[in-house]
Amino acid sequence: MREPNAPLPHKLIGVAAIWNDQQQILIDRRRQDGLLGGLWEFPGGKLEPGETVEQCIKREILEELGIEIAVGDHLITINHPYSHFHVTLIVHHCRHISGEPQPIECDEVRWVTLDQLDLYPFPQANVEIINALRKS
C-alpha cells in the first residue's frame, strides 16, 4: 500500500513496432491473469539499469517472443498515468529478422495490418501508438 501522498511508481518501457516483409505489424495479447489482462499490445518490456532503449527492446523481444529484430527509428514517446502507476512508453520501429514469434510471455501473437488494429482492444496508452503508426 502506498502512502497517501507518495508519488506513483514510474515504469520506463521499451516498445517495439515490429514490421515484417508483408507490411504487417506484430501484436500480442496480455495474459488474462495479469494487469490489463486479455488486452492486445505492442510487445516490449521494462528498461534495466545501464541498458539503452534499443538494447531493452531487442532483449525483451527475444525473451518474450523468441525472435530476432533490428531496432530502427524512434516513433513516439508516451507518458501515461494509470491509477496505480505511471508509464513512459518509448516506441521504436523494428524489423523482423528471424524466428517465428512464440507466445512465451503472453497468451497469443498475431501479424496484422494497420487497418486491422481497430479489431483488437488495446490499453489506452497503446491507442497513441496506433495513431502515430498511421501518421508515419
Residues in binding site: 30, 41-44, 64, 126
Q: How is residue 36 annotated by DSSP?
A: T
Given this model, what pLDDT does residue 98 score? 97
Given this model, what pLDDT does residue 5 score? 67
130, 122 Cβ separation under 8 angstroms: yes
| Inter-CA distances, 95 with 4, 7, 56, Å | 44, 36, 15
Given this model, what pLDDT does residue 128 score? 93
Buried residues in 91-107 as b, exposed as e (16+ CB within 10 A):
bbbbebeeeebeeebbe
Given this model, what pLDDT does residue 2 score? 46
Cα separation, 42 vs 133, in Å, equals: 11
Residues in binding site for Mg(2+): 44, 64
Mean pLDDT by runs of 10 across the 136 residues of the chain is 70 97 97 88 96 98 97 97 88 98 96 97 92 94
Residues in binding site for 8-oxo-dGTP: 30, 41-44, 126
